[in-house]
């Protein structure tokens, strides 16, 4: 018995030490928020926004918005509001940890770069608190209940509406618009983005109605085929462009799972017109093609695979926002067209 | 070594170390390994007819052809880990020694992370070499540190140095991964331990290392038996214990370094298989090591086959399955008799 209680105590200590997450690099928080280039709708406040963990009650127009979610910074900027802090983009970003489309919009607004917080390990609650925000956005994120509770003590938090990592960009935009009192502008931005996608649809007739698989093959383990399900935002962008999820992907999507994997022995069943996968090196494509099993995936066999090493473009398409969609259409869609046409 | 002829029926719960003489046990093991090989070629996420092997261009042919390297890898890596584990237990005279103990896994993992993060190598055939060198460096470093002070590299000091190095290197690995998500993604795939998805080219390149390692380790069996008497007695018998240790150590590095580089860290096999074998044939390394090879191969391969079907259409990697499949087997052996000492 004594030994058992000792063990329990030891594991508790271990668990606690794991909680002591470290945070890195913050810049000094400015005293004042940056000037917005847009105005809140009259009568927009007070407002309350429902989400998975409860309700965010926002009394008056927020002046210092901290971003914890992944696409919220883009949403905010597209509404002319500059955040005080944003999460570092560790995959598909540049040296500083931001994306080109974010930086371009920032320049256009004539604003300074907000504080960039590293969230690789966990949400750096202390760093967020230092920014002294009056609103925290996490509409497209995977924040835990515990993180939500801590953040709520700093300022109202708008978490994801239903499932973590499964908020369509339109919903994110609408929530951010509501939280900042820019509902009308959010509608306009959404319409404009939809129009951009419509135009891209017209400009690329060759991909209409074509089925696809969005996979994440790894040369480190070719015995399985990991892919994103119909519930994920990535495939959603391609369906918006007029493509269709492969029947096999639809059949193997379970509720609440945005990602799944099947054995590479099932390769021949993954029928689609187009196969997208991330890759680390250019020569990975050859590795996939040559593999006895992976090479049996019909789209790979027929020369319709795109193994992209351009993480920036993949990120733009993978997490579509009003700012990243134009970039994705310029940099990502041509790759699809090429693969669909089999070049 | 005298061999008794076994009766033509399954022996009824023989006593530890007796009744299971070497030859029938070895024969039985060869049979089990062959069964595992056949199962590994025929069973998987997708059912295929064995006849497909002769149907050129068929899906089934591709699948069976892909299961071949996977099967070979399961056999050689399982055998390598079990033999290396047995050697390590003898070398350190620590019943809990396994390839993870001397910093070998930690060294391989760190070197691989450096390869991906710093040198931008993204494919298995590229970073396999780094992992191997990392494993070797870790072992050399551990031995050097352990050799300081009085008495040279005693078993206790080896284990301590290994544990310290593992902890230190693991934190370096974590530091790199926290700054570099892309590397983390690659490592995630490798760290589980899998025998699937490796081509012949990688396996054939690694084979010579495994063969040399196996020769060094298996010829070291007598050495280990002498070392088991304790260093003073071994020296009295004219053994040069330091040289002996280095030779066996080199065998261990070649075996575990290569196995880890090829498949990622696979646990349990190296730790437990030698103990199971000891419950059958006692603790003489001349018998423990060769039989461990067969046992390790069979266990790893069967674990992989089970991992292919329990969660279809997905697969569970062998690194996870060895423990799940291994534990009941281990418990069975434990119940048969007391663990043989080292």
**Using a CB-CB distance cutoff of 8 angstroms, which residues of chain B are in contact with residue A290?**
199
A contact test, residue of B117, B189, B263, B312 with most A CBs within 10 A: B189
Specify the CATH number of the domain B67-336: 1.10.3470.10
A226 against B23, higher pLDDT: A226
Answer whether A257 touches B (CB < 8 Å): no
Answer whether B65 touches A (CB < 8 Å): yes
- Residue B128: both structure tokens together: 């396999």
Answer whether A315 touches B (CB < 8 Å): no
Chain A, nearest residue to B192 by Cα: A221
User: What is the helix, strand, coil percentage profile of chain A, to 5?
Assistant: 40, 15, 45
Query: In chain B, positions 106-145, which contact chain A (CB-CB < 8 Å)?
Result: 116, 120-124
Assess whether pLDDT exceeds 60 at residue A139: yes
How close does chain B come to A262, measured CA to CA in Å? 4
Assess whether pLDDT exceeds 70 at residue A2: no
Answer whether A262 touches B (CB < 8 Å): yes
Q: Which residues contact B30 (CB under 8 A, 6 or more apart)?
A: B294
**Using a CB-CB distance cutoff of 8 angstroms, which residues of chain A are in contact with residue B120?**
281
Nearest to B187 by CA among B100, B105, B264, B268: B264
How close does chain B come to A261, measured CA to CA in Å? 6
Answer whether A293 touches B (CB < 8 Å): yes
pLDDT in tens, chain B (342 residues): 444 444 444 443 334 444 456 677 788 889 999 999 999 999 988 888 888 888 888 888 889 989 999 999 999 999 999 999 999 888 888 787 887 777 888 898 899 899 988 888 877 777 878 888 898 899 889 888 988 877 777 777 888 898 899 999 999 999 988 878 778 877 887 788 888 888 888 888 889 999 999 999 998 888 888 888 877 888 788 777 778 888 888 898 889 888 988 888 888 899 889 988 888 888 899 999 999 999 999 999 999 999 999 987 888 889 889 888 888 887 887 777 665 555
Nearest to A241 by CA among A301, A190, A200: A200
Instruction: Point out the residue among A91, A223, A262 whose CB comes nearest to the CB of B182.
Output: A91
Chain B, nearest residue to A121 by Cα: B178
**pLDDT at residue number B39:** 92
Distances A240 to A18, A107, A168, A195, B69 between C-alpha atoms, Å: 41, 29, 11, 11, 42
Q: Which residues contact A171 (CB under 8 A, 6 or more apart)?
A: A139, A161
Distance of CA B312 to the CA centre of its chain: 26
**pLDDT at residue number B10:** 40
- Contact predicate A222/A320, CB 8 Å: no
Answer whether B312 touches A (CB < 8 Å): yes
Query: pLDDT tens digits, residue range A57-112?
Result: 999 999 999 999 999 999 999 999 999 999 999 888 888 899 999 999 999 999 99
User: With left for phi above 0 and alpha for psi between -120 and 50, is residue B19 left, alpha or beta?
Assistant: left
Domains in chain B: boundaries: 67-336
Helix (H) or strand (E) holding B18: none
How close does chain A come to B253, measured CA to CA in Å? 22
- State the residue for tokens 């992907």: A249
Assess whether pLDDT exceeds 50 at residue A14: no
Distance CA A123, CA A150 (A): 10
CATH fold label, A206-341: Rossmann fold (3.40.50)
How close does chain A come to B128, measured CA to CA in Å? 10
Helix (H) or strand (E) holding B255: helix B241-263
Answer whether B157 touches A (CB < 8 Å): no
- Residue A82: both structure tokens together: 């500059």
Instruction: Point out the residue among A121, A287, A293 whose CB comes nearest to the CB of B63.
Output: A293
Nearest to A238 by CA among A273, A262, A271, A270: A273
**Using a CB-CB distance cutoff of 8 angstroms, which residues of chain A are in contact with residue B46?**
263, 265-266, 269
**pLDDT at residue number A135:** 97
Distance CA B84, CA B98 (A): 8
Distances B66 to B195, B210, B321 between C-alpha atoms, Å: 11, 21, 20
Instruction: Point out the residue among B45, B121, B189 whose CB comes nearest to the CB of A221.
Output: B189
**pLDDT at residue number B341:** 58
**Using a CB-CB distance cutoff of 8 angstroms, which residues of chain A are in contact with residue B122?**
219, 279-281, 284
Domains in chain A: boundaries: 47-189, 206-341
Distance of CA A87 to the CA centre of its chain: 12
| A117 phi, psi to nearest 5 deg | -105, 135
Q: CA B84, B87, B89 angle in degrees (round to 5)?
A: 110
Residues paired with A14 in a beta bridge: none
How close does chain B come to A65, measured CA to CA in Å? 26
B273 DSSP 8-state letter: H
**pLDDT at residue number B340:** 56
Q: Which residues contact B286 (CB under 8 A, 6 or more apart)?
A: B1, B221, B222, B225
- Residue B295: both structure tokens together: 């046992």
Query: In chain B, positions 256-295, which contact chain A (CB-CB < 8 Å)?
Result: 264
Instruction: Point out the residue among B185, B197, B312 whose CB comes nearest to the CB of A264.
Output: B197
Answer whether B313 touches A (CB < 8 Å): yes
Distance CA B258, CA A220 (A): 15
Q: CA B90, B170, B155 angle in degrees (round to 5)?
A: 20
| B89 phi, psi to nearest 5 deg | -65, -35
Whether residue A265 and residue B65 make contact (CB cut-off 8 A), yes or no, is no
Distance CA B115, CA B181 (A): 14
**pLDDT at residue number B9:** 41
A122-136, A296-310, B313-327, range with the lowest pLDDT:
B313-327
Whether residue A265 and residue B194 make contact (CB cut-off 8 A), yes or no, is no
How close does chain A come to B170, measured CA to CA in Å? 15
Average pLDDT value for residue range A288-307: 94
Assess whether pLDDT exceeds 70 at residue A29: no
Chain B, nearest residue to A252 by Cα: B313
B contact test, residue of A222, A265, A268, A280 with most B CBs within 10 A: A265
Chain B, nearest residue to A283 by Cα: B123
User: With left for phi above 0 and alpha for psi between -120 and 50, is residue B6 left, alpha or beta?
Assistant: beta
> Right CATH number for A47-189 from 3.40.50.300, 3.40.50.1980, 2.30.42.10, 2.60.120.40?
3.40.50.1980
Distance CA B293, CA B78 (A): 7
Q: Which residues contact A158 (CB under 8 A, 6 or more apart)?
A: A49, A51, A56, A135, A136, A137, A138, A139, A175, A176, A179
Whether residue A281 and residue B63 make contact (CB cut-off 8 A), yes or no, is no
A30-39, A107-116, A180-189, B6-15, range with the lowest pLDDT:
B6-15
- Residue A22: both structure tokens together: 């470290």
What's the Rg (C-alpha) of chain A? 22
Whether residue A222 and residue B197 make contact (CB cut-off 8 A), yes or no, is yes
Distance CA B316, CA A46 (A): 51
DSSP per-residue codes, A9-73? HHHHHHHHHHH-------PPPPSSPPPPSS-PPTT--SEEEEETTEEEEE-S--SSEEE-SSSHH
Q: CA B5, B8, B11 angle in degrees (round to 5)?
A: 85
How close does chain A come to B144, measured CA to CA in Å? 31
Distance of CA A329 to the CA centre of its chain: 17
Q: Which residues contact B245 (CB under 8 A, 6 or more apart)?
A: B91, B143, B153, B227
Instruction: Point out the residue among B46, B66, B123 whose CB comes nearest to the CB of A266.
Output: B46
- Contact predicate B102/B271, CB 8 Å: no
**Using a CB-CB distance cutoff of 8 angstroms, which residues of chain A are in contact with residue B189?**
218, 220-221
Instruction: Point out the residue among B180, B192, B313 whose CB comes nearest to the CB of A266.
Output: B313
pLDDT band at A181 (very low <50, low <70, confident <90, very high): very high
**pLDDT at residue number B212:** 95
């Amino acid at each position: 018995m004594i030994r058992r209680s000792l063990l329990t105590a030891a594991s508790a200590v271990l668990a606690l030490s794991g909680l002591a997450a470290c945070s890195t690099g913050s810049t000094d928080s400015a005293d004042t928020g940056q000037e917005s280039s847009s105005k809140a709708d009259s009568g927009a406040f007070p407002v309350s926004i429902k989400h998975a963990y409860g309700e965010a009650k926002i009394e008056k127009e927020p002046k210092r918005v901290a971003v914890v979610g992944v696409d919220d910074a883009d949403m905010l900027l597209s509404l002319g509001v500059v955040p005080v802090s944003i999460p570092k983009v560790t995959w598909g970003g540049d040296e500083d940890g931001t994306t080109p489309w974010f930086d371009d919009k920032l320049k256009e607004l004539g604003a300074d770069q907000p504080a960039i917080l590293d969230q690789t390990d966990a949400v750096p609650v202390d760093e967020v608190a230092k920014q002294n925000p009056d609103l925290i956005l996490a509409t497209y994120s995977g924040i835990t209940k515990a993180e939500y509770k801590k953040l709520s003590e700093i300022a109202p938090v708008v978490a994801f509406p239903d499932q973590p990592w499964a908020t369509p960009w339109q919903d994110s935009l609408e929530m951010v618009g509501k939280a900042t009192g820019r509902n009308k502008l959010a509608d306009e931005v959404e319409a404009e983005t939809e129009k951009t996608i419509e135009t891209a649809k017209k400009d690329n007739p060759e991909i209409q109605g074509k089925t696809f698989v969005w996979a994440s093959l790894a040369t480190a383990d070719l015995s399985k085929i990991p892919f994103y399900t119909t519930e994920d935002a990535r495939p959603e962008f391609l369906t918006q462009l007029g493509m269709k999820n492969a029947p096999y992907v639809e059949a193997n999507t379970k509720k609440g799972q945005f990602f799944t994997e099947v054995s590479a022995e099932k390769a021949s069943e993954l029928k689609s017109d187009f196969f997208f996968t991330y890759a680390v090196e250019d020569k990975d494509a050859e590795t996939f093609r040559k593999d006895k099993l992976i090479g049996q995936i019909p789209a790979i066999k027929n020369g319709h695979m795109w193994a992209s090493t351009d993480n920036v473009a993949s990120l733009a398409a993978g997490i579509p926002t009003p700012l990243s969609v134009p970039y994705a259409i310029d940099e990502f869609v041509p790759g699809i067209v090429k693969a669909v046409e089999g070049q | 070594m005298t061999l008794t002829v076994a009766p033509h029926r399954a022996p009824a719960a023989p006593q530890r170390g007796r009744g299971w003489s070497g030859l029938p046990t070895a024969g039985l093991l060869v049979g089990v390994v062959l069964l595992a090989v056949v199962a590994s070629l025929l069973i998987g996420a997708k059912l295929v007819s064995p006849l497909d092997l002769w149907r050129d261009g068929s899906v089934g042919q591709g699948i069976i052809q892909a299961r071949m390297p996977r099967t070979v890898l399961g056999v050689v890596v399982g055998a390598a880990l079990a033999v290396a584990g047995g050697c390590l237990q003898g070398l350190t005279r620590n019943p809990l020694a396994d390839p993870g103990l001397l910093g070998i896994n930690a060294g391989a993992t760190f070197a691989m992370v450096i390869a991906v993060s710093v040198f931008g190598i993204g494919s298995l055939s590229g970073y396999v070499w780094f992992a191997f060198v990392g494993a070797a460096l870790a072992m050399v470093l551990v031995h050097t540190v352990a050799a300081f002070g009085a008495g040279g590299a005693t078993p206790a000091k080896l284990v301590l140095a290994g544990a310290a190095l593992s902890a230190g290197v693991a934190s370096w690995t974590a530091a790199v991964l926290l700054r570099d998500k892309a590397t983390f993604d690659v490592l995630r795939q490798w760290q589980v331990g899998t025998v699937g998805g490796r081509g012949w080219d990688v396996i054939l390149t690694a084979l010579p290392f495994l063969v040399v390692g196996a020769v060094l380790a298996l010829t070291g069996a007598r050495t280990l038996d002498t070392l088991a008497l304790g260093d003073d007695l071994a020296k009295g018998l004219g053994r040069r214990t330091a040289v002996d240790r280095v030779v066996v150590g080199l065998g261990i590095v070649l075996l575990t370094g290569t196995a880890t580089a090829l498949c990622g860290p696979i646990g349990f096999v190296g730790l437990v298989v030698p103990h199971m074998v000891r419950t059958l044939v006692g603790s003489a390394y001349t018998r423990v090591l060769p039989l461990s090879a067969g046992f390790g191969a069979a266990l790893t391969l069967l674990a992989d086959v089970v991992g292919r079907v329990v969660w279809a259409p997905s697969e569970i990697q062998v690194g996870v399955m060895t423990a799940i499949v291994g534990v009941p087997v281990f418990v069975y052996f434990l119940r048969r008799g007391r663990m043989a000492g080292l």
